[in-house]
Amino acid sequence: MEENEINVYFFDWLENHCKENNIIKSINPLTRNNKTRKTTNNEIIISEYPPLTTIKIKIDNEEVKASPYKTINESEKEVSKKDIKKIHNQINFSNSMLETMSKQLT
């Protein structure tokens, strides 16, 4: 490319590469996928991304909590079961956000 002084824009190359190799049909971050979510207060929220509050996610006929922010008591030396549950809630929220973002890659 340098020898021939050709400039190829990345997104043009990516689109052609994906079509030639049948990797992804298209990448469109502008698509909106609204989803209905239930908070821990049983409030229904319809939004594209998970709200910045604790929500319930239904997985295999079981509701799990997903929370964007949790705090732990750093003055305690021992890690409690409650602290581990808080980390799981945050991981669930991160996974929910990643799922939403991945649906924009159609």
The number of residues in the chain equals 106
Could you tell me if residue 65 is inside a domain?
A: yes
Could you tell me if residue 91 is inside a domain?
A: yes
pLDDT for res 71: 86
Could you tell me if residue 39 is inside a domain?
A: yes
Determine phi and psi for 94, rounding to 5 degrees. Answer: -60, -40
- Residue-wise pLDDT tens digits, 3-21: 667 777 887 787 788 778 8
Question: Exposed (0-12), middle (13-18) or buried (19+): which is 39, by Cβ within 10 Å?
Answer: middle
- pTM across the whole model: 0.62
Sheet holding 35-39, edge to edge: 44-47, 35-39, 55-59, 62-66
- Residue-wise pLDDT tens digits, 38-64: 999 999 999 888 888 999 998 888 999
CA 23 and chain centroid, separation: 21
Which residues constitute the domain of residue 89? Answer: 30-102
Could you tell me if residue 15 is inside a domain?
A: no
Could you tell me if residue 10 is inside a domain?
A: no
Could you tell me if residue 14 is inside a domain?
A: no
Question: Measured in Å, how far apart are the chain's first and last C-alpha atoms?
Answer: 30
